[in-house]
Chains A and B, each alone.
Chain A
Amino acid sequence: MRLTSRLVVSTAVVALMGSVAYAEEFDWRKFEGTEITWAYDIHPYADAVVAYLDEFEELTGIKVNAELYPDDTYWGKLNIQLSTGSPDWDVVGTGIQPAWDVTPAGQLAPLRGLINDPSMTNPDYDYADFFPALTRAWTWDVAEEKIIDTPDGEIWGIPHAFENMQLMYRMDILDRLDVAPPSTLPELTAACEKITAADPNITPMAVRGVRFWSSIHTAPISIAQSYGVSDFVGSGDDLDTALDGAESIRFHKDYVAMIQACAPDSWANDNWYQVVDGLSTGKTAMAVDANMFGFWNNIKGASDASGQIAFAPPLTAPDNDEFASNIWIWSLAINAASEKKGAAWYFMQWATSKEMNVRGATDGKLVNPPRASAWDSQEWIDYANQPEFNNFYETFNTVQEKTSLLFTPRYGFGTAINAWAVAMQDMVGGADVEERLAELAEEIRDELN
């Protein structure tokens, strides 16, 4: 039997079983004939959905137009679409941090009511199945244009797939140069010096250094947590930056020393594509970034690095065994101005369902899937434990326990963390750490208050 026809048959069986069991409760064809637009980043996560859109259309009679944009420009476009109240886009891809900036104005539709409504949500959906760290991070209330962080709050988005931050390294290079994978930040600096001495053609380590918050949200925020540093302390109106505190100074001194010893001269221009490129071509020995980049490059035939990239938790402070890992959750949300919220929700619940999680993951695209059931499913266990993925699966399980969103929920996230990224460039360029952090804290207070 050909693969495609087998898929169609199995889907039909699933759909049939669904309709037999819940024929009266759930009607997949309620919004038949509707046409919706779904906007997303160009990403394998998008691919994981696009591959099965035909099935969704067959199941529901809803037509989905996918509108995809490249990473950097997607956000600008999304801001404009949402803030002008345009109904063009029904379902949008977004992340939690950007959502902090747009939910206070009511630009995303609240979802709790839809999730709890049996006539709108298929009983198999099982919202509680998502990792609690992810759903918790998508929950808050909005009052007087401020974010109230509460576990009983409104739900603003559904996790589609997520990245957690890990140390990834080329086993072949570290073996050849006889370097053990480091676990603390100073150990990393020492390992880099050893690599440089042994083979000056290898770049010891790559992390993003660009002037956006995206370069803080990978390595710095994860490692800083182990040094006891947060972006903001306090709560409510007393929320204040802690970046000029003693812990922060200690962390930044170590981190800046690490970048100076480890990262290529091009660090300040490096975005994720340079980081990933270095790892997959074997120019770089190590990287701290989203674990899925290591996973994708390990897929057979995906790159020359296939089978060579291994995983480890993010680095820690020298006197602390506890590591922390930040997350980035690509999620689906509904534009508050959408005129087809029902159909939009149908698409979202299908795209984030248990079946789609496992399928996307075992296609090698939707990594990491956000549902616990996906990680327990035999199909995904078999797939992710293939030899070319090395210790991907077990490292995920270790890291996931200490994974959470390490930024503080508040409006003005982008302003503060972009300023942090600029300050980091200055410090790596030689500015005095203590003075520059004081300046940064002052700037954040000035901008946000």
Chain B
Amino acid sequence: MARKKARSGNTFLLLALLPAVLILGGFILLFFWGFYQSLTDMRFGRTRVDFEGLGNYARLFSRGRFWDSVSATAIYAFSAVACEAILGLAIAKLFNTRALLAKWFRPAILLPLVLPPLSVALMWTTMMNPETGVLNYFLSFIGIDNFTWTSKAETAMFAVVFIDVWTFTPFFALIIFAGLRGIAPDIVEGARMNGAKAWGIFWRIELPMVLPYILLASLFRLIDSLNQFDIIFGTTQGGPGNATDVLSVSAYFTAFQNLYFGRGAAIMIVNWLIVLISAIVVVKLWQFTRKRVS
């Protein structure tokens, strides 16, 4: 009897997982194929393809430009995610107060998420135009003239991170907001009775309790911003110079503009490994903080 039940359980398990595994599994072979191509000297426009082993990778690691791309990717992703976490926390706190407008305008938080990033990048480029852009018009009121945004190497990284922060801070705000709502009111009330100040409550109770939420949001955002292509390609294409030449943009140029597909594939694989490792670290952190909170 018990055996029969176990078997029917297994059948169900199989049936439940099979469609998803089949649908995604089809892609696996393609990824292996792509990985194989990163081990070759494949170029568009040439028929012969030779196996090179790790040649593309060795070449990559010996070039200064590659390491510039790695650091641009890291700077972009970590500064964007850090800003988004801090601002998201502030906005979540703000919308968690009793302010009347906070209740009315909560849906407005979602607005930045409705636009497709690639096409909206074009709009940001016009808004950020140093001479005619509306952003500099507003800045001129506070005495800043001709800020160069995406058009100069010194400010370009700031500008693309700014766009990422504008677009995805709401994502953090919503998750953290949910975390704040989940804190039982009596814990906060109890602390207050014991004489804790608002700041103390925030540091000792609220922040530790929403930390797992912040990490969960960071996980998803880190994955996306380490892979970010649309925002950067749509505004600076990786420039000026190589100022915003993150790995995904560099891979695109190498593979599809310069037609060295094997070399481009190697960059994609490295980028993927960086995301994978970061994701594992954040998942571990997340599991750790979640255990500690509960």
The short answer to whether A and B are in direct contact, CB under 8 Å, is: yes
B96–chain A nearest beta-carbon distance, Å = 39
Write out, one digit per residue, whether chain A residues 414-449 have a CB within 8 A of any chain B CB (1) or not (0). 110010001101101101000000000001000100
Q: Which of A98-106, A179-187, A318-326 contacts B (4 or more CB under 8 A)?
A: A98-106
A136 at the interface (CB under 8 A from B): no
A145-B48, A265-B146 are contacts. A429–B129 as well, Cβ < 8 Å?
no
Q: How far is the CB of A42 from chain B (nearest CB, A)?
A: 16
B 37-53 to A, binary, CB cutoff 8 A, 1 in contact else 0:
00000001111100000
Judge whether A119 is part of the interface by a CB distance below 8 angstroms. Answer: no
- Whether, in the assembled complex, A83 has its beta carbon less than 8 Å from a beta carbon of chain B, the answer is yes
Chain B interface secondary structure, helix, strand, loop or mixed?
A: loop
A18 within 8 A of B: no
Taking A426-B153, A426-B240 as contacts, is the C-beta distance between A269 and B257 under 8 angstroms?
no
- Contacting A at CB under 8 A, from B81-127, are 125
Q: A101-B45, A101-B259, A104-B46 are in contact. Are A265 and B131 (CB under 8 A)?
A: yes
Whether the Cβ atoms of B242 and A422 lie closer than 8 Å is: yes
Report if A429-B153 is in contact (Cβ < 8 Å); known contacts: A265-B131, A415-B258.
yes
Rounded to whole Å, the gap between the CB of B122 and the closest CB of chain A is 10
Q: Contacts A426-B241, A447-B258 hold; do A265 and B148 have CB atoms under 8 A apart? A: yes
Interface readout for A15-26 with B: 1 if CB under 8 Å, 0 if not? 000000000000
B44 close to A83 (CB less than 8 A): yes
Of the listed stretches B10-18, B184-192, B230-238, chain A binds: B230-238
Known: A203-B131, A283-B132. Contact between A79 and B125, CB under 8 A? no
- Beyond A264-B130, A266-B151, A425-B240, is A107–B45 a contact (Cβ under 8 Å)? yes
Partner of B125, one of A265, A269, A414: A269
Chain A residue nearest to B254 (CB atoms) is A415
Complexed CA–CA distance, A105 and B259 (Å): 13
Say yes or no for B78: interface residue by CB 8 A criterion: no
B258 near A418 with CB under 8 A, answer yes
Asked if A422 and B241 sit within 8 Å, CB to CB, the answer is yes
Complex-state Cα separation, A259 to B242, whole angstroms: 19
Chain A: which residue is nearest B59 at the CB level? A446
- B242 contacts across to A, CB distance below 8 A: 422, 426
Q: Does B150 contact A269, Cβ atoms closer than 8 Å?
A: yes
What chain A residues lie within 8 Å of B152 (beta carbons)?
A: 265, 268, 429
Q: Is A234 an interface residue (CB 8 A)?
A: no
B 129-148 binary contact with A (CB < 8 Å = 1; else 0): 11110000000000000101
Known: A101-B259, A264-B130, A414-B259. A83 touches B45 (CB 8 A): yes
- What residues of chain A have their CB less than 8 Å away from a CB belonging to chain B? 76, 79, 82-83, 101-107, 145, 203, 210-212, 264-269, 283, 411-412, 414-415, 418, 422-423, 425-426, 428-429, 431, 443, 447
Q: A105-B47, A269-B125 are in contact. List 6 more A-B contacts (CB 8 A).
A: A104-B45, A268-B151, A268-B239, A269-B129, A412-B258, A415-B260
27 A-B pairs in the complex with CB atoms less than 8 angstroms apart: A79-B259, A82-B44, A83-B45, A102-B44, A103-B45, A105-B44, A105-B45, A145-B46, A145-B47, A210-B237, A211-B239, A264-B129, A264-B131, A265-B146, A265-B148, A265-B151, A266-B151, A268-B151, A268-B152, A268-B236, A283-B132, A415-B260, A418-B257, A422-B241, A425-B153, A425-B241, A429-B240
